[in-house]
Structure 1
Amino acid sequence: MRLGIKMGLAMLALVCGAAAARAADGQPLIVYTENYPPFNYAKPDGSVAGLATDRVRQVLDAAGLQYEIKIVPWARAMNYARTRPDALIYTITRTPRREYGFDWLVLLAESNFHIFARAEETRPVTRENLEAGMFTASCVSGDLTCELLVWAGVPVANIIPIAKEGTGDFRMVLAGRADLYISDFSVNRRLRKAEGYSLDLTKPVMRLDSRAGFYLASGLNVPADIRARIKASYEQLKASGDYQLVSNEQQADGGQWEATLPDQGHWPDG
């Protein structure tokens, strides 16, 4: 048993060592993301496009790095980013819980999270009322919004996580089975439009005072010189005025994309 464990650890060390060597000797980095239009999505020809993808390519090209972008399920992307020394990830949301587990290389877009309720809701949505358990809230299990609800003050017992992916939390509120859900303001507009729902069905009732944004990030196993090179490229592009964040207007309009709604919930589990 011990021999098997030692052999497994040795194999893991060889794989990680090989990946580190690839990143260090100019071999391509692997940049992982999910299908999350308009930020990142697969085109019919198999290439990866999107508003955030354009920024990632801009920074990595300016840094002179070789890379390959792959769309995979979000849980797999997160695992690779945490464990592989040649892996980057986007569009990942920066939160207090994961602050020290990643290196936040490039800010791609600001986030503007709000708590939403049904249009007819009249009770005041305040942190005090949230903490008192006045409201129930829904989120997709494992999604960033579940963490944000707790951060906003909703008791865990009042949060209804659902296994259904996509926009099930909005539908729970619409059906009256929960009072609240969380969404980025611009993304909420885009999702409702894409699904054929009127924006008047729900309303934003509280803006979260959060500095979470959407990023290109790496795990701490990526060589420090590679991370520094990416950050330097980003700072130089900003200083020259050539780099612009994805705007709220672009997020709301959705850009020009031919893809379905994301399969991993509203947010890159971030």
Structure 2
Amino acid sequence: MKILIHVILFAYFSFFTAQIASAGPLRIMSESYPPFSYKVNGHAEGFVSNIVNILRGQLGEEHTEIVFLPWARAYQNLQNGRADVLYPMVITAERKKLFKFVGPVFTSNVYFYRKKGANVSFISIEETKKNSRIAVTRDAAYHQILFETGFTHLDVSSCQRLDFLKLVKGRVDFVPMGERIIQGFLKKYPELDYSMFEKAGPALFTVDTYIAFASHVPDEVVQRWQNALDEIKGNGIYQFIIDSYFEQHND
């Protein structure tokens, strides 16, 4: 299945070589966040990376490098104008003021997860705002959304892997995570396994994931990326990539 995805990517790049390119090469960043994006042998992999690669091929950006950075550093680079694109990113109220967006490229319901068998629970989400210890990644969407909605006991980490390690060690009660991506995320870390955790309580919220552009990127460039995304959604390529990755990561 993975080979077939790469064949489709190559065919799409070849077909759109003559398409109109955006104004100059874009400086594109991502973080290691499986199954959205991660690096294998120096190349960007993951289902959102494959979507981004197809869009780059359509728009003449296929030869630009995708740089992988820790989330906080990449976020700061985009905010300060030292880079042009960062993916994947969830829109929050704060981010709407800072960036431009193309998408959505993915939608998922977010739940709290606890260590399997742990004696922690809650009756209402309001209860967890005051009484629960929750691990979140600094400046990540879940951090911003929970903070904006009144959660006060947030234990901030530098990455989501550390969030789950804190959960394993009993340092926190819950970690928020999208239900459609948690299995693919945990598979990349040998010390973590999906069987170690369980969903707790109702869905917290639904998040849409986007490709974010710095505020200095011209609107016409952003619109070309949106048009290219709309095209692959219309012709079935987008859905094929999504279905293929979830078949691979959630078996």
TM-score range normalised by the length of the shorter chain: 0.7 to 0.9
- Whether 2:176 is the aligned partner of 1:178: answer no
Deviations 1:151-208 (A, max 9, x none): 4542x2x222245x45222232333322111112233223444435454443212312
Partner of 1:209: 205
8 A Cα contact 1:137 1:181, kept in partner: yes
Deviations 1:127-167 (A, max 9, x none): 23123x2322222344433224334542x2x222245x452
Shift in alpha-carbon separation, 1:80–1:66, aligned structure 2, 3 A: farther
What is the rounded CA distance, in whole Å, between the counterparts of 2:157 and 2:46 in structure 1? 28
SS of corresponding position for 1:247: helix
The AA in structure 2 aligned to 1:54 is N
Partner of 1:128: 126
What is the rounded CA distance, in whole Å, between the counterparts of 1:219 and 1:159 in structure 2? 28
- Whether 2:37 is the aligned partner of 1:40: answer yes
Q: CA deviation at 1:41?
A: 2.5
Count of residues in correspondence between the two structures: 226
Q: Which blocks of at least 5 consecutive residues in structure 2 are unaligned?
A: 1-20
- Whether 2:179 is the aligned partner of 1:188: answer no
8 A Cα contact 2:34 2:46, kept in partner: yes
- Whether 2:51 is the aligned partner of 1:55: answer yes
SS of corresponding position for 1:186: coil
SS of corresponding position for 1:244: helix
Q: CA deviation at 1:59?
A: 2.0
8 A Cα contact 1:140 1:146, kept in partner: yes
8 A Cα contact 1:105 1:217, kept in partner: yes
The AA in structure 1 aligned to 2:222 is R
What is the rounded CA distance, in whole Å, between the counterparts of 1:122 and 1:85 in structure 2? 43
Shift in alpha-carbon separation, 1:246–1:99, aligned structure 2, 3 A: farther
Q: What is the TM-score normalised by the length of structure 2?
A: 0.74
8 A Cα contact 1:116 1:202, kept in partner: yes
Q: CA deviation at 1:25?
A: 7.6
Q: CA RMSD in A?
A: 3.1
Q: What is the TM-score normalised by the length of structure 1?
A: 0.69
The AA in structure 2 aligned to 1:214 is T
Question: How does 1:217-236 map onto structure 2 within 5 Å?
Answer: 217-236=212-231
Structure with the bigger RCO (C-alpha within 8 Å, sep 6+) is 1
Q: CA deviation at 1:37?
A: 3.0
What is the rounded CA distance, in whole Å, between the counterparts of 2:157 and 2:208 in structure 1? 24
Partner of 2:107: 110
What is the rounded CA distance, in whole Å, between the counterparts of 2:29 and 2:233 in structure 1? 24
Q: Which blocks of at least 5 consecutive residues in structure 1 are unaligned?
A: 1-23, 256-270
Of 143, 148, 169, 1:146 maps to 143
Shift in alpha-carbon separation, 1:25–1:59, aligned structure 2, 3 A: closer
What is the rounded CA distance, in whole Å, between the counterparts of 2:180 and 2:136 in structure 1? 18
What is the rounded CA distance, in whole Å, between the counterparts of 1:86 and 1:181 in structure 2? 30
Q: CA deviation at 1:64?
A: 4.2
Of 95, 100, 115, 2:97 maps to 100
Question: Which one has a bigger Cα radius of gyration?
Answer: 1
Deviations 1:104-149 (A, max 9, x none): 1132222331111233436334123123x23222223444332243
Partner of 2:13: none
Shift in alpha-carbon separation, 1:96–1:253, aligned structure 2, 3 A: farther
Partner of 1:30: 27
Shift in alpha-carbon separation, 1:230–1:53, aligned structure 2, 3 A: same
8 A Cα contact 1:107 1:245, kept in partner: no
